[in-house]
Structure 1
Amino acid sequence: MPAPLHARRAAGKRAGTMSQPLIIAVPKGRILAEALPLLAAAGIQPEAAFSDENSRALRFATDDPEIELIRVRAFDVATFVAHGAAQLGIVGSDVLAEFGYSELYAPVDLGIGHCRISVAEPADMAASDDPRGWSHVRVATKYPHITSAYFAKRGVQAECVKLNGAMELAPTLGLAPRIVDLVSSGRTLSENGLVEVEVIAHVTSRLVVNRAAMKTRGRVVPLVEGIRRAVAERAA
């Protein structure tokens, strides 16, 4: 079991051997639980504190002294990797589409985190609504770019109200009659009186890499290939 991260840093400084580790940004929540077995199959096991529900730490050692993990919000993974604060990350294709960072390369579809970006509205509205007749929509969403682009292709003007959560409240409180959000089982929509009326895109999680790090950090390419093999072996 590796020593705690702070102890390893101190020891490395005393010995004068501390080099810059590769940082992998991973998202909090459901995707993380699905991603950990893939990382383990690629030889990356986080320190015990990573699984401590009472820990407030965000940066963790692994059993590979040259690799560390940071645990951040899903939407922030892409930002950390794009700006080089982390060299690799795991993030949904929805986030990649929303931000469109040119600094990111997404070499591996991990085949986890399956869900979809959908348009939803109150069930009573949907009973008589026909999306083919829309010319203007007011939508609450955390995906204004994806939403606007989707409706623009259909010749529909989209007025987006940016929210970061609690999207399902928007129709009931009069903020917007429709929402665009991630849907997995559909249970949250159902419990808030909403139904899906259109699917914009299907989503899976991807391994992303900072393009500059891909060229300058020697461990990146072998690590990508190791994760690619782990995905292939799981699918076999």
Structure 2
Amino acid sequence: MLTVALPKGRLQRPALERFARAGITPEEDLASTRRLIVPAGASARFVILKDSDVPLYVERGTADLGVCGLDQVLESAADLLAPVDFGFGNCRLCLAAPRGSKVAEEAAQDGLAAARPSLGVELGRSLRVATKYPRLSARWFGQRGVPVDLVHLSGSVELAAVCGLTDAIVDLVETGRTLEENGLVIAAELLAVSARLVVNRAAYRLKVEELLPLLEALG
């Protein structure tokens, strides 16, 4: 039996549609059931998780494969295979800041390029940035030599910049409407994100006869 880690939220419906085309359909309506493990016939079952937990469950072998955003794959640094880019759930991981701020002005001057190392000097301290993605953010700023004080949040990241807790944020942007309505502008794009199929390395070897036809159908 294959165990599939399926995320809650906006990726769930298109992911279910792709699995249905491959012949794997949950026996219950996931929109109405409160069960966290849902059978999908005799050969598979779905485990319902937060998007950010999918890489861990798959890496540790609790699930054989799963669906999550590329942002979660990279932020988790999990040792996984990611053989399929589903092409849905498209969005961007962006640096955003209040309109008229030094960060926004830098972006306007550099054509939405990376923040410059001198920015921290101009502020008189390290750039403060709120994010749900400390690993990806630290790497991006580090590659550009920008001193940064990262504030790890799990709730509304935009609020941190709006209220002055931080100078900027790094967060996912789909349409940009939330940023616009809260007076924030995109300063730089860190990563283009889409939904990926992730596979446990051991399962790929040990369950190859079950997995390969499914991967071909999903791809």
TM-score (norm 2): 0.88
Selected match of 2:34 from 13, 32, 56:
56
Higher RCO (C-alpha under 8 Å, 6+ residues apart): 2
Q: How many residues are aligned here?
A: 204
1:111 correspondence with 2:87: yes
Check the 8 A contact 1:49/1:60 in 2, yes or no. no
Matches within 5 A, 1:61-76: 61-62=39-40, 64-76=41-53
Alignment of 1:103-182 (within 5 A): 104-125=80-101, 128-130=105-107, 131-132=115-116, 133-135=118-120, 136-182=126-172
In 1, Cα distance between the equivalents of 2:12 and 2:104? 37
**Residue identity matched to 1:150:** W
Task: Name the residue aligned to 1:98.
Answer: 75
In structure 2, list runs of 5 or more residues that go unmatched. Answer: 108-114, 121-125
Q: Deviation digits for residues 32-55 of structure 1, max 9, x if unmatched?
A: 122122111111111233232xx3
Shift of 1:127: 5.5
Instruction: Say which SS state the counterpart of residue 51 (structure 1) adopts.
Output: coil
Q: How many angstroms apart in 1 are the aligned matches of 2:105 and 2:70?
A: 32
Q: Is the 8 A contact 1:93 1:206 kept in 2?
A: yes
Instruction: Supply the distance in 2 between the matched residues of 1:203 and 1:31 (Cα, whole angstroms).
Output: 12
Deviation at 1:195, TM superposition (A): 1.2
Q: What do you get for the CA RMSD once the two structures are aligned?
A: 1.5
Unaligned 5+ segments in structure 1 are: 1-20, 229-236
TM-score, with normalisation over the residues of structure 1? Answer: 0.82
The amino acid that maps onto 1:118 is C
Distance 1:134 1:39, change over 3 A: same
Identity %: 41
Distance 1:224 1:121, change over 3 A: same
Larger Rg: 1
Given that 2:66 and 2:199 are in contact with CA atoms closer than 8 Å, whether structure 1 keeps it comes out as yes
Aligned counterparts of 2:104 and 2:186: Cα–Cα separation in 1:
11
Deviations 1:19-74 (A, max 9, x none): xx21101111111122122111111111233232xx32111111x31100011100
Q: Secondary structure at the match of 1:107?
A: strand
